[in-house]
A and B are shown apart, each in its own frame.
Chain A
Amino acid sequence: NAGVMQNPRHLVRRRGQEARLRCSPMKGHSHVYWYRQLPEEGLKFMVYLQKENIIDESGMPKERFSAEFPKEGPSILRIQQVVRGDSAAYFCASSPLGGGPSTGELFFGEGSRLTVL
């Protein structure tokens, strides 16, 4: 049973370009979370999605950032017109159907490290 798969692991973009980060949750998991981590800091919540629905996007900037989790395929975190301050590690986590945040454990991917030049 494969774990949470994130790609790309490393992404370099120039200012103004778009970054697309992908996350395939563990098999059977329908809850996906995206977090952002700056060096030597904790994880900052961005967005929580279920299949085809955004449940909580309170941690995501209103502009340039969007997330989706379609019925088929991976969850996508999209950053348009990237700026240097977007450089960070972006982690995806999933939890099983029916479990959700109230019952706990999140399964994390290895992260996508975005560098904006």
Chain B
Amino acid sequence: SQQGEEDPQALSIQEGENATMNCSYKTSINNLQWYRQNSGRGLVHLILIRSNEREKHSGRLRVTLDTSKKSSSLLITASRAADTASYFCASTNTGGFKTIFGAGTRLFVKA
């Protein structure tokens, strides 16, 4: 990818379980964001974490950021079938203009 990698590439879980997705990036960043994309649709912003933050919560979402390892994780707790989608991390490098996306994790939540 242009900026980093995400893993796993695909994840299949049962409804009610937690889903964890990881993202690594290559350069120093201003912030890191997570987006969701339903099949055939545009991306929807979920959460943003700044480079001086280590953890952030929003509803059932928890994001962590480790700038020393250049990595982030997205945890979705108590997953629902409606959470089935692709999830992308995106980062803007320090001093840059571009928001660069990872390859994404395809999450499938079985009812």
Residues of A whose CB lies within 8 Å of any CB of B are 4, 33, 35, 40-45, 48, 55-56, 58-59, 91, 93, 100-111
Contact = CB atoms under 8 A, between A and B. Distances in A.
Interface residues of B, number: 25
B98 A42 contact: no
A59 B48 contact: no
Majority secondary structure, B binding face: strand
Interface stretch (B14-22, B39-47, B60-68): B39-47
A36 B34 CA distance: 18
Contact of A59 (B31, B33, B45, B98): B98
B101 A35 contact: yes
B98 A105 contact: no
A46 to B, nearest CB: 10
B92 A101 contact: yes
A16 B78 CA distance: 50
